[in-house]
């Protein structure tokens, strides 16, 4: 169901969590650009969760750090089976305003038809979101902050002009020059590079982060294009070319 013109990236998503020791799946609702589910906190005023894709337990979306929340630097990983110990936790940060019995609407945001972030909002008695006193601008910056999957340490955010660079540098590494690598230029929030294709009129590539060939950004499917449904993965040492 592509409500609002955005095609959901998965046939279905289920949330699994600590409220039943991760034993059951609860279906999330597709709401036009995100999957949503309301979680109610128990006596501990905390709830941890992961997201199961298409009903397959070994295909989970999970964060890159334990007890992730909107106030910690992290990124989405999966869907795969390497989720052990990695979960989002509502109530891990006092800024959630968590209390026993509080309800939160959890959403897996897919604004362009691709999963980009997980967030949650505290709900009032009327079912509407209530403020917890958080500066939403800061939350968005932290949520989008890059994470180096190889070292497990937060990447340094570099400032250039009025924009913050997520990486110190990016190189495009492609088939047109036998994968030698060319620096990309940061231009108003986007890394750019012009390439010239050879006689075949085609070129495959991936993007290398901060000079490490073991730290690559790549698509989720082989031979991805702008017209093929896919999402970004990495930076890590795996990957397909696009």
- Among 58-67, 80-89, 105-114, 225-234, the minimum mean pLDDT is found in 225-234
Give the end of a domain, one of 85, 101, 123.
123
Q: Is residue 31 part of a domain?
A: yes
Residue (of 93, 68, 87, 72) closest to 22 by Cα position: 87
More confident residue, 231 or 62: 62
Q: What is the mean pLDDT of residues 176-196?
A: 88
Q: What is the 3-state secondary structure (H, E, C) of 182-216?
A: EECEEECCEEECCCCCCCCCCCCEEEEECCEEEEE
Do 184 and 87 have their domain in common?
A: no
Give the end of a domain, one of 88, 123, 158.
123
Q: What is the mean pLDDT of residues 137-162?
A: 36
pLDDT-derived band at 132 (thresholds 50, 70, 90) equals low
Residue (of 130, 122, 86, 81) closest to 101 by Cα position: 122
Do 114 and 45 have their domain in common?
A: yes
Q: What is the pTM of this model?
A: 0.57
pLDDT at 213 exceeding the cut of 70: yes
Q: Is residue 241 part of a domain?
A: no
Q: Is residue 139 part of a domain?
A: no
Q: Is residue 156 part of a domain?
A: no
d(CA 239, CA 242): 10
Do 174 and 81 have their domain in common?
A: no
Do 111 and 40 have their domain in common?
A: yes
Give the end of a domain, one of 123, 158, 187.
123
Q: Is residue 145 part of a domain?
A: no
Q: Is residue 220 part of a domain?
A: yes
Distant-in-sequence, close-in-space partners of 159: CB < 8 Å, separation ≥ 6? 165
Q: What is the share, in percent, of the chain residues with pLDDT greater than 70?
A: 79
Q: What is the mean pLDDT of residues 132-157?
A: 36
Do 29 and 101 have their domain in common?
A: yes
| Number of domains composing the chain | 2
Task: Residue 71: give the domain boundaries.
Answer: 13-123
What pLDDT, on a 0 to 100 scale, did the predictor assign at position 131? Answer: 65
Number of alpha carbons in the 13 Å side-chain half-sphere of residue 217? 19
pLDDT digits (tens, 9 = 90+) for 9-47: 999 999 999 999 999 999 999 988 889 999 999 999 999
Q: Is residue 56 part of a domain?
A: yes
Do 21 and 84 have their domain in common?
A: yes
Q: Is residue 62 part of a domain?
A: yes
């Amino acid at each position: 169901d592509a409500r609002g013109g955005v095609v959901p990236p998965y046939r279905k998503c289920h949330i699994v969590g600590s409220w039943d020791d991760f034993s059951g799946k609860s279906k999330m609702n597709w709401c036009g650009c995100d999957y949503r589910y309301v979680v109610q906190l128990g006596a501990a005023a905390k709830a941890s969760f992961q997201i199961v894709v298409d009903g397959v337990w070994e295909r989970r979306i999970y964060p890159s750090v334990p007890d992730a929340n909107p106030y910690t630097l992290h990124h989405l990983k999966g869907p795969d089976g390497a989720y052990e110990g990695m979960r989002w936790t509502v109530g891990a940060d006092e800024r959630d305003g968590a209390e026993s019995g509080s309800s939160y609407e959890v959403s897996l945001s897919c604004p362009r038809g691709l999963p980009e972030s997980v967030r949650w909002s505290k709900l009032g008695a009327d079912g509407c979101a209530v403020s917890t006193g958080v500066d939403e601008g800061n939350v968005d910056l932290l949520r989008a902050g890059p994470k180096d999957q190889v070292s497990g340490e937060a990447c340094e955010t570099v400032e250039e002009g009025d924009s913050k660079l997520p990486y110190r540098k990016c190189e495009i590494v492609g088939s047109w020059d036998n994968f030698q690598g060319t620096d990309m230029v940061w231009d108003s929030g986007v890394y750019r590079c012009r390439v010239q294709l050879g006689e075949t009129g085609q070129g495959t590539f991936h993007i290398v982060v901060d000079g490490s060939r073991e730290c690559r950004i790549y698509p989720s499917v082989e031979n991805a294009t702008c017209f093929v449904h896919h999402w970004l993965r990495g930076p890590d040492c795996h990957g397909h070319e696009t």
